[in-house]
Amino acid sequence: MQSTVRSPRRSTSATQAQARAKVPTAVLGTGSIGARHLRVLRDLVGAPVSAVPVRASRRWELEDQRFKVCSTLEEAVAGGARAVVVATDTARHMADLGAALKLGCCVLVEKPLSPMASGLAELARSINGTNQRVYIACDLRFDASLLHFRQRLPEIGKAHSVRIECQSYLPDWRPGRDYRQSYSAREAEGGVLLDLIHEIDYAVWLFGPPSQVFARLANFGRLGIAAEESADLYWEAPGGTAVSIRLDYLTPSTHRNMSVYGEWGEIEWDGVAQSVSLCCRDSMERRDFPEGPDATMRDQDAAFLEAASGGDADTLTTFAEGALAVSICDAARRSSMSGKFEAVVEWRAM
């Protein structure tokens, strides 16, 4: 028997927090993702927000959109900001996070936390010496369909195999902008492995961290970029579950899905269709979650402001979890070069 259930918008602590979390917030970096944070924070969360563009030429456009614009992060904090969203290019994340911490702010850093794990231990020590909170923007943890997937996952029993795919076409990501000039194209801070680190984050969130990774990263020369165009990863999660992940910038039709096979059945998440399908013994069920494109960011940003006010930080990706994801990427790069499994090095020891 198969049933399709169309679910209404869920009620979560993050959604409820919208009425409470009005922490004045600055968004540092106003490119595509920073501009989206600005709009979501102001229009959907209802928080007082100021923009801190990296490029001065953005100021007039932002003012036309009726955002408060500050020339520096210091100016934004002097104007009342107590929380900061770091949405600059990946190579700047550590420096910008450090600057926000020195100003006494709680921080949400866009993924990935850093291009590599080296130096994160020292930064963590400085965070631990304060009352400030730092989180990583992995908003898929707030996706209604993925949350439902997580809730229903135990129904298939012990999982033995996980297959994750996230495939799309990089030139289609930012219409009107040359993708070869974006951070995604740069070898030192871009590439599909770091760009799609969401998949690594939720794989660890759901199934636990690996001790070692086997990977193959490839650049076929099809996009004319310096960074890798595809990445294939494999590891065993605690308990022996085999996890394989395919990431690429090369596929014209967008795919984002996860299939898990267990002792009693299988469950599939389709992140594009926003659906969860469960096949267990003799029953089959599909559930759809019709959400707007900004729903996950809205809930994530509201949860961040709630946490910045001293509230519950459940579901948000912590600094340590973000650092672990980067460490897994480091191991994947080493594995691709060596052709062998490589250990995931403890980032706190680096």
> CA–CA separation, 47 vs 50, rounded Å?
10
The amino acid at 213: V
- Asked whether 100 and 27 are in contact (CB, 8 A), the reply is no
Q: Which residues of 286-306 are buried (b: 16+ CB within 10 A; e: fewer)?
A: bbbbebeeebbbbbbbbbbbb
State yes or no: pLDDT of 293 exceeds 80. yes
- 252's CB contacts (< 8 A; 6+ apart) are 169, 172
343 strand-pairing partners: 212
- 115's CB contacts (< 8 A; 6+ apart) are 90, 91, 188, 189, 194, 326
Mean pLDDT of 262-266: 97
| Per-residue pLDDT tens over the stretch 237-259 | 998 999 999 999 999 999 999 99
Q: Which two tokens mark 151?
A: 């809730």
State yes or no: pLDDT of 3 exceeds 50. no
Helix or strand or coil: residue 293? coil
Residue-level pLDDT at 21: 59
H helices, E strands: number in the chain? 11, 17
Could you tell me the pTM of the whole model?
Answer: 0.91
Residue-level pLDDT at 16: 46
> CA–CA separation, 81 vs 324, rounded Å?
29
Residue in the structure block whose two tokens are 């890798």 = 228
Mean pLDDT of 208-233: 96
| Per-residue pLDDT tens over the stretch 76-129 | 999 999 999 999 999 999 999 999 999 999 999 999 999 999 999 999 988 887
> CA–CA separation, 244 vs 167, rounded Å?
14
Residue-level pLDDT at 8: 37
Give the β-pairing of 242-248 and 250-262: unpaired
> CA–CA separation, 123 vs 258, rounded Å?
33
Give the β-pairing of 134-137 and 317-318: antiparallel
In the chain the domains, ranked by start, together with CATH numbers, are: 2-139 (3.40.50.720), 141-291+314-349 (3.30.360.10)
